[in-house]
Amino acid sequence: MNDKNDWEELVDRHLRGELDGSEKEHLAELLDSNASARREFVEHVQWDTEFAEALHESGYSPRDADIVAAERAKTDGQWASKPTFLRLMLAAAAVVIVVLSAGLIYQRAYPQGGIHETNVIAAQRRVSDVSIARITGLSGSLIWTGDRGQIARDVRVGTELPGGTIEGMAPDSWFELQFNDGSTVMIAGTSMLTFADPGQKELRLREGIFSAKVVPQPKGKPMLIHTPSTLLEVLGTQFDVEASLDSTMLNVTEGKVRVRRLSDGREVDVPAKHRVIAEGGGDLTPQPVPESVNHWKSQLHLRPGCYGTWLPATELRAAAQKSIPLVPRENPSVTLYLLGIPVSRSNGPPVVVRSNSQFVVRGRLNKPAKVHFGIAVSDVNGEFAGKFRGDLDHQQPISEPDEDGQFEVVYRIGDFTLDPCVHDRKEELAGEPDGLVLNGVWAFTNLGGPSGLEVTEIELVPPRQGRPTPQMQE
């Protein structure tokens, strides 16, 4: 495609239905070999599909569209200066254009078959199949749902996606996506993200932890990120977000992000090295990111974990997070009993893991069991840095519950090693968790059946404090 005028003429004639068989084949070869041409072609088919829908909803006929386009061309110089093939698309019957466009792509893909679908639906299907991003990293249990409802559990690195929803199903889940312009986004833990790019990137984080590194976006088309409580506008920056039903925490590392709180419409620009927590009608003033701490303790008496069943405190028992069954995607013959607890940055400063620190896990078991324990960490800028396990040492003892079913087990940071599920990226990830930000923890048993695993408290203890004394109540 050396001559743009020839390319536009070929597209114009195709949309008017004037191409013969050899010319259609030539156009299909151009679309197959040139990603830019495919995007341009599909954008116009999609635009015209939307135009046809607008005509249908308003009661216009194709003749009405022709008249509207002619009148607008008389009075709007900017409109009249649009490329020839776009004006011709307006002047042509919208439904006919969709029919021809869908026919070319469908016939190219299935040369022995006919068009067995309604033409408008076929055009929309072909548009929705165009890749907007590629999976560049994943681990744990994930489900991708396409925009037509198809569900896939077996998504892999390198898979091209046209949009849809990706859902992390467990606390150790992680997913990284790279858009065609090089922008990358990531979710971790039990998160749900919907993404699309019909000429402008638009994402919806329904819940969970999200981070992004966004290259400069086209003028007037910022990346839009919806959460239950806010709308974020991103031109090009690096940041991370934590969203729940009633709150959104935004932490900006580089650049600037505009936040609009949906409850009152208030907007604020959050600069680099600042964060804002949008909830209810509280203060929306950006604050400097607080200094990190090296000590953390779960607060299950105040809030549930991110995975499992939350058991509120009673007069006799401390609050706990109870494990629930999980069948790993990569090993469907195994059933784990798993629970997860997030380390929220919206409730305090970043928690940084240090060498010679240790995790102390306290809880309840119905029977002796080896309690497997893992953590997820990120760099200070929010980028995923790895998942680590503290139980892979073969000397890790089996936890023996006392007469009340309670147990305590300690995991030393020096014994943590990279989780096997991310070994394929070990060259890109950190070799140890020292100096990294703690995002979440999880624990599970693998006895082939229920163990009754409940966690009442997890504590990260800095080296200077030494090993804490057992404490079963919060």
Please indicate, yes or no, whether residues 348 and 327 belong to a single structural domain of this protein.
Answer: yes
For residue 443, being part of any structural domain is answered with: yes
Among residues 341, 334, 423, the alpha carbon closest in space to that of 387 is found at: 423
Please indicate, yes or no, whether residues 139 and 124 belong to a single structural domain of this protein.
Answer: no
pLDDT at 94 (0 to 100): 37
Please indicate, yes or no, whether residues 321 and 432 belong to a single structural domain of this protein.
Answer: yes
pLDDT at 84 (0 to 100): 43
For residue 24, being part of any structural domain is answered with: yes
User: Following DSSP, what letter does each residue of 11-77 receive, concatenated?
Assistant: HHHHHTT---HHHHHHHHHHHHH-HHHHHHHHHHHHHHHHHHHHHHHHT--HHHHHHHHHHHHHH-H
Among residues 389, 344, 362, 343, the alpha carbon closest in space to that of 140 is found at: 389
Please indicate, yes or no, whether residues 270 and 357 belong to a single structural domain of this protein.
Answer: no
Summarize pLDDT for 256-299 with one digit per residue, the tens.
999 999 999 999 999 999 999 998 778 899 999 999 999 999 99
For residue 210, being part of any structural domain is answered with: yes
Residue 64 phi, psi (nearest 5): -60, -40
User: Following DSSP, what letter does each residue of 246-306 receive, concatenated?
Assistant: SEEEEEEEESEEEEEETTT--EEEEETTEEEEEETT-----EEPPPPBS-EE--TTTS--S
Which DSSP symbol is given to 208?
E
Please indicate, yes or no, whether residues 311 and 457 belong to a single structural domain of this protein.
Answer: yes
pLDDT at 23 (0 to 100): 67
For residue 241, being part of any structural domain is answered with: yes
Residue 219's domain is classified under what CATH number? 2.60.120.1440
Please indicate, yes or no, whether residues 123 and 35 belong to a single structural domain of this protein.
Answer: yes
Please indicate, yes or no, whether residues 249 and 346 belong to a single structural domain of this protein.
Answer: no
pLDDT at 46 (0 to 100): 45
> If you count them, how many residues does the chain have?
474
Please indicate, yes or no, whether residues 315 and 449 belong to a single structural domain of this protein.
Answer: yes
Q: Report pTM.
A: 0.66
Question: Which of helix, strand or coil describes residue 233?
Answer: strand
Q: Which residues does 124 contact at the CB level (< 8 Å), separation at least 6?
A: 46, 49
Please indicate, yes or no, whether residues 309 and 453 belong to a single structural domain of this protein.
Answer: yes
Please indicate, yes or no, whether residues 229 and 308 belong to a single structural domain of this protein.
Answer: no
Please indicate, yes or no, whether residues 300 and 415 belong to a single structural domain of this protein.
Answer: yes
Give me the number of domains the chain comprises: 3
Summarize pLDDT for 8-22 with one digit per residue, the tens.
677 766 665 666 656
pLDDT at 16 (0 to 100): 58
Question: Which of helix, strand or coil describes residue 128?
Answer: helix
Domain limits at 387?
296-465
For residue 20, being part of any structural domain is answered with: yes
Please indicate, yes or no, whether residues 122 and 139 belong to a single structural domain of this protein.
Answer: no
pLDDT at 24 (0 to 100): 65
Residues with pLDDT less than 70, the chain: 1-5, 7-8, 12-129, 147-149, 394, 464-474
Cross-strand pairs, 378:
384, 437
For residue 470, being part of any structural domain is answered with: no
For residue 472, being part of any structural domain is answered with: no
Amino acid at 300: L
Summarize pLDDT for 140-178 with one digit per residue, the tens.
888 898 866 678 777 889 999 999 999 988 888 889 999
Last residue of a domain, one of 268, 288, 308: 288
Last residue of a domain, one of 102, 128, 154: 128
Query: Cα separation of 389 and 355, whole Å?
Result: 15
Last residue of a domain, one of 262, 288, 314: 288
pLDDT at 58 (0 to 100): 43
Do 139 and 106 form a contact (C-beta atoms < 8 A)? no
